[in-house]
Amino acid sequence: MTTIYGELKPSPRILLGPGPSDVNPRVLKAMTTPMLGYMDAEFIQIMDETADMLRAVFGTKNALTLPVSGTGMSGMESALCNVIEPDDEIIVCIKGYFGGRIADIAERLGGKPTIVEAEWGTIIPPEKVEDALKKVKAKVVAIVHAETSTGILQPLDEISEIVHKHDALFLVDCVTSLGGQPVDLDRRCIDIAYSGTQKCLGGPPGLAPISFSGKAVETIKNRKTKIPSFYFDMTLLERYWSGEKRAYHHTVSMTMVYALREALRVVLEEGLDARYERHQCNAEMLKSGLTAMGLELIAQDGYRAPMLTTVAIPDGISDVNIRKSLMNEHGIEIGGGLGDFAGKAWRIGLMGESSTQKNVLLLLSALEKLLSKEGYKVEPGAGVSAAVR
- Nearest distance, CB of residue 378 and ligand PLP, angstroms: 30
Binding flags for ligand PLP, 134-153, as an x/- string (CB under 6 A): ----------x---x-----
Q: Does 176 bind ligand PLP (CB under 6 A)?
A: yes
Q: Does 156 bind ligand PLP (CB under 6 A)?
A: no
Q: Does 19 bind ligand PLP (CB under 6 A)?
A: yes
Do the Cβ atoms of 5 and 335 come closer than 8 Å?
Answer: no
Binding flags for ligand PLP, 45-84, as an x/- string (CB under 6 A): --------------------------xxx--x--------
- Nearest distance, CB of residue 205 and ligand PLP, angstroms: 5
Q: Which is nearer to ligand PLP, 142 or 234 (CB)?
A: 142
Q: Does 18 bind ligand PLP (CB under 6 A)?
A: yes
Q: Which one of 106-114, 168-176, 237-245, 374-382 is the stretch in contact with ligand PLP (CB under 6 A)?
A: 168-176
Residue in 205, 228, 294, 331 binding ligand PLP, rule: CB under 6 A: 205
Residue in 98, 240, 258, 346 binding ligand PLP, rule: CB under 6 A: 98
Q: Does 354 bind ligand PLP (CB under 6 A)?
A: no
Q: Which is nearer to ligand PLP, 73 or 272 (CB)?
A: 73
Q: Does 196 bind ligand PLP (CB under 6 A)?
A: yes
Q: Which is nearer to ligand PLP, 19 or 352 (CB)?
A: 19
305: phi > 0 → left, psi -120 to 50 → alpha, else beta; which? beta
- Nearest distance, CB of residue 67 and ligand PLP, angstroms: 12
Q: Which is nearer to ligand PLP, 205 or 381 (CB)?
A: 205
Q: Does 361 bind ligand PLP (CB under 6 A)?
A: no
Do the Cβ atoms of 307 and 279 come closer than 8 Å?
Answer: yes
Q: Does 159 bind ligand PLP (CB under 6 A)?
A: no
Residues of the shown chain interacting with ligand PLP in the complex, contacts defined by CB under 6 A:
18-19, 71-73, 76, 98, 144, 148, 173, 175-176, 196, 205
